[in-house]
Amino acid sequence: VELEKELADLHQTESALLFTSCYVANEASISTMAKILPGMVIFSDQLNHASLIAGIRSSGCEKRVFRNNDVDHLHQLMKEYPKDRPKMVIFESVYSMEGNIGPIEKICDVADEHNALTFLDEVHAVGLYGQHGAGIAERDGVMDRLSIISGTLAKGYGVGGGYIASSSPIIDAVRSFAPGFIFTTSLNPPMAAAAKASVSYLKHNPQIREKHQERAATLKSRLASAGVPVMPSESHIVPVFVGDAALCKKISDELLNKHNIYVQPINYPTVPKGEERLRLTPTPFHTDEMMNHLVSSITSAFKEIGTTGMRSAYEHYMQKAAPTPARRA
């Protein structure tokens, strides 16, 4: 209860509800909301995480998918439904594979126009963005525009567990009806205490977030200067283009075995075929020396493996990525 109060205070909501992970929080909350509001239509961003998709699937609701961050497309789809039909728009703030950021305010404007609830997954932003670490919605000054915010106590907070923050009636409804909340052991007291300490610490230490942004920007520019194919990203997530699943795994193995650096290979189905990548997530505590080691190791791993054809695939990706309204929005 103390942690839930800390989280409600973080997001400036009436209430919050803890789950064993944010996967469970997303799945359980979305499917339960749909049961409470029969006939609901769900509008889902194309790049939504598997946990959001699992919730949408088990809700059994009609679902429409809008292009990533494309507010006009969302508007077009919503226009097809009468105003009094229950609706919910489900999206993320930081998309973890692309590193791009959702236009929260514009999405809320469209949702309001169509009388829809909004569900925002801030998993890759809580602890990391906003004056108190409440995420991109806090950074953009739009926290009060969202019906439900979900977050994790892993990742930025370094512990484990997940939650939703919302109005008291919504939290009470999910608490009363969600099987993913009711039929499993709750987060244990040591984890809850650790998470509360972490949330509170990051709430009062914005300088760590500033350092984090500086470290991410430094890593991006160092990689680019060394000729490494960094993909465009507005956030702390630094994707490096490979464009081939086997090569991606090989480079990751080479980095681990020869250079003692663990970087995950991201392959299909997490990203589309032909857009395979390494995903780097620098922390505030990665030093210049560590970054030098990383950049020289990646450069030598790329050379060692031989990346013929990769450059042109990367250029093709960059051409496709840059001008589309979906990515610019």
Ligand X SMILES: Cc1ncc(COP(=O)(O)O)c(C=O)c1O
Closest CB to ligand X among 178 and 228?
A: 178
Residues numbered 44-83 forming contacts with ligand X, rule: CB under 6 A: 49, 51
Residues numbered 120-139 forming contacts with ligand X, rule: CB under 6 A: 121, 123-124
Query: Residue 155 Cβ, how far from ligand X at the closest point, in Å?
Result: 7
Q: Does 266 bind ligand X (CB under 6 A)?
A: no
Please name the amino acid found at residue 127: G
Query: Residue 95 Cβ, how far from ligand X at the closest point, in Å?
Result: 8
Catalytic residue among 35, 63, 87, 155: 155
User: Of the listed pieces 17-25, 74-82, 102-110, 140-148, which binds ligand X according to CB under 6 A?
Assistant: 17-25
Distance CA 223, CA 292 (A): 9
Q: Does 22 bind ligand X (CB under 6 A)?
A: yes
User: Of the listed pieces 118-126, 202-210, 230-238, 293-301, which binds ligand X according to CB under 6 A?
Assistant: 118-126
Q: Residue 203 is encoded by which pair of tokens?
A: 């709430």
Query: Residue 1 Cβ, how far from ligand X at the closest point, in Å?
Result: 20
Strands 162-166 and 148-152: antiparallel
Q: Does 147 bind ligand X (CB under 6 A)?
A: no
Query: Residue 224 Cβ, how far from ligand X at the closest point, in Å?
Result: 25
Beta-strand ranges (E) seen in the chain are 15-19, 41-45, 62-66, 87-92, 117-121, 148-152, 162-166, 238-241, 264-266, 277-280
Query: Residue 124 Cβ, how far from ligand X at the closest point, in Å?
Result: 6
Q: Does 159 bind ligand X (CB under 6 A)?
A: no
Strands 41-45 and 87-92: parallel
Q: Which of 37, 53, 154, 310 binds ligand X (CB under 6 A)?
A: 154
Q: Which of 15, 21, 147, 166 binds ligand X (CB under 6 A)?
A: 21
Backbone dihedral region of 158: left (phi > 0), alpha (psi from -120 to 50 degrees) or beta? Answer: left
155 is catalytic: yes
Q: Does 152 bind ligand X (CB under 6 A)?
A: yes
CB-based contacts of 138-143 (< 8 A; 24+ apart in sequence): 138/11, 140/104, 140/105, 142/104, 142/105, 142/108, 143/11, 143/12, 143/13
Query: Residue 232 Cβ, how far from ligand X at the closest point, in Å?
Result: 19
Distance CA 210, CA 21 (A): 27
Q: Does 103 bind ligand X (CB under 6 A)?
A: no
Spatial CA neighbour of 145 closest among 97, 226, 78, 89: 89
Q: Does 98 bind ligand X (CB under 6 A)?
A: no
Q: Residue 93 is encoded by which pair of tokens?
A: 């703030």
Q: Does 254 bind ligand X (CB under 6 A)?
A: no
User: Of the listed pieces 16-24, 183-191, 236-244, 266-274, which binds ligand X according to CB under 6 A?
Assistant: 16-24
Q: Does 237 bind ligand X (CB under 6 A)?
A: no
Closest CB to ligand X among 262 and 308?
A: 262
- 3-state class percentages of the chain: helix first, strand second, coil last, to nearest 5: 50, 15, 35
* Largest distance between two CA atoms of the chain: 60
Distance CA 17, CA 154 (A): 16
Q: Does 86 bind ligand X (CB under 6 A)?
A: no
Please name the amino acid found at residue 313: A
Residues contributing to the site for ligand X (CB under 6 A): 21-23, 26, 49, 51, 92, 96, 121, 123-124, 152, 154, 162
**What residues are labeled active site?**
155
